[in-house]
Structure 1
Amino acid sequence: MTTIDDLVRLVPPPIEPVDAAGDWGRVEAALERELPADFKALVGRYGRGQFADFISPLHPFGTPDLLIPMARRLLEQEGPFRDAYPERCPYSFYPEPGGLLPWAGTDNGDRLCWLTAGEPDSWTVVAWNPRGWYHSAHEQGAVGFLHGWLTGRIHTPVFGGPVEPTPWFDPFRERVHVYVRLSEGELPYAERLRVLRDALAPTADRGSFNEAAEEDGGDDDDMDEDGARQDHFAATDLDWRLTYETAYGHQIRIAYPPGDGRRARDALFDAARRMGCEVLSTSADRGGPRPDGWE
């Protein structure tokens, strides 16, 4: 059985986790459920944040509370679809007996839920894509699922798309997210990536995905434009998080602390020029207005 100590050895938690302590009695009273001990340990060791730029546990402490409101809205949001298409909904929903109860979400909009049958420490995980209404069940709790996914032992088709887990955890920090759409350039993908990282050096790897290499079992260096690619890295001295990709269009995604907008814009526009690409557009995450510094 995977324990919180196994996860801590794999992914060192922050020295000062954000919002790691709170009143579990209040949380459990609001949900009218006891919660698994491994999830409480997960929150206590890591606090608010995200694993591998992808999975965010639904944190019950601090502002906002992510766990209780999502649980309370679940049946109201999903019940009508289940009533209309019961064959596509094999699970009940909290607060129904044994129903799914979300404990984490992903950047793709997927949910990781407990199947709340039996004692809390025996609850297992169901990965669920509410847009496509497909699921995968896993015989682990929250900590076991995270450890298995981060080590590559657990795979779920629900996550789909270009996701290559790498074991790290980022504690919560307010960040501004911007998408920079690029024209194609004459340089191959690997060379464009090298130029981008050189422009923002020093950098550190944070995982990658190459659709063509994964399908063919080939080396990333041999695959440039044949398949969707996605490379995550950090500009370490700047505390910026970046993704360069062709998986969802040719673009750079950047997340930076507030106040760095103008510096980030100038750095990426200069890098794009060196890559032989033109900046076609910039936009905020989820289609909002462009942040300050990107006018």
Structure 2
Amino acid sequence: MTMRAVSYAQFGGPEVLHVAADVPVPVPGPGQVRVRVAASAVHPVDLMIRDGRFPAPLPSGLPYVPGWDVAGTVDAVGTSVGNLAVGDEVVGFSHWLRTTVGAHAEYVALDAASLTAAPAGVPAIEAATLPTNGLAAAQALDLLSLPAGSSVLVTGAAGQVGGFALALARVAGLHATGVAAPGDREFVESQGAAFVPRSDGPLAVAAGSFDAVVDLALIGPSLLDLVRDGGGYVAASPPLRPEPVRGIRTLALEVEPDGTRLGELVKLVESGDIPLRVDGVYSFADAAAAHDRRAQGGVRGGVVLVP
């Protein structure tokens, strides 16, 4: 059996993407299920890898099928899977950098532990925007372990991860402040956060104002000045984690698949506490256009591919 998948056999611009029709349908191994994909989001890392700009070795060679997130339906179950069955609607993500198992395909086989039940009543196109970015936001805040009432500054606050971080901070009883472009003020404040406009120079914030910073925009070590002594700082990229100063814990985010944690986020989607935003929907045949859109600035929702 074969399937259709977005693929590329050489590094380059969006033009290298094509729809391959002869990709073998994966067979789920022990602990895995196969998901019939309904929707999958495009991430900046997909573009970086496709361009050949990713700064670390990849686990296998070309051709690649890209894609991390998946929303779809279980259609086959491997051995030693007790929590999912054929017909279950699920969401989850593939840790592509470890496995090169891409979700921009009609079917994908993933570890059952990385999946959870899809949010009830939510279209797959919206649900596909949750897994990687939602878990990134949740795991960033988990690293900080801030008690309720703490203050946290989130840069890149209007992006996908930033928006989830603001929502989760609100749910956790944190006092969040979001740094974003002036046009994003309404969204930031809609998540219960204070707003600080993005600036090419120092932010209009007093030194030591926050218990912690989640630096999704990769502004860098200058933000440590805004953290109180003994506070916390999370960098969105491990190589950019600054050295600790003044007792500040400096941490790095490396998002991991976690079906249990993702299930908690799904419940927050169902209760209306986490907003899901979609910027655009593209077919596999229009994958190059989806990559072009993802490359543009000001993307404020998921760029989603559907088979």
TM-score, structure 2 length as denominator?
0.31
TM-score, structure 1 length as denominator?
0.32
Structure in which a larger fraction of residues adopt strand: 2
Structure number with higher relative contact order (C-alpha < 8 Å, ≥ 6 residues apart): 2
Bigger radius of gyration, 1 or 2? 1
